[in-house]
Amino acid sequence: MAEDARVICDSGALVSGGPGVRFSVPAAGGDAPAFVVRFDGKVHAYLNRCAHVPVQLDWTDGAFFDYSKLYLICSTHGAIYLPYSGECVTGPCTGKRLVPVAVEERGGQVLLIKDIHDV
Ligand code: FES
């Protein structure tokens, strides 16, 4: 697995409820934008694509959490997502989910696990 992993960022770059780190993942039509955040100590990554309309979520680069730092929020129409599952719990796409991206935290780094992600 290690040879198929790519470093996204150092672990210290992600604080629970803080700014996320944007990156890209290989996809059928070219690289797709994605992001990783830390919530409740764990890292979670998703395609940076709202489940309502396929636009990127962040207000400004890396701003994925709402003011409470408990939920991810889409800057376009305000859909609210659970950071640990990607489920939309409030907004125009309630019940839908962000597309998860396989990441792992190891050795002080956050890694993209390329071989098990298929967009
Ligand atoms: S585009 Fe995200 S809530 Fe509409």
State the closest ligand 1 atom to the C-alpha of 75, by its place in the atom list counted from 1: 2
Q: Where in the chain are the domains?
A: 2-116
Chain segment 39-79, per-residue pLDDT in tens: 999 999 999 999 999 999 998 888 999 999 999 999 999 99
Strand partners, 104: 111
Instruction: Determine whether domain 2-116 maps to CATH 2.102.10.10.
Output: yes
Q: CA-to-CA distance for 36 and 26, rounded, in angstroms? A: 15
State the closest ligand 1 atom to the C-alpha of 53, by its place in the atom list counted from 1: 1
Give the Å distance between the CA of 76 and the centre of ligand 1. Answer: 5
Give the mean model confidence (pLDDT) for residues 98-118: 87
Chain segment 5-23, per-residue pLDDT in tens: 899 999 999 999 999 999 9
Q: CA-to-CA distance for 29 and 52, rounded, in angstroms? A: 20
**8 Å CB contact between 100 and 112:** no
Say what the pTM is. 0.92
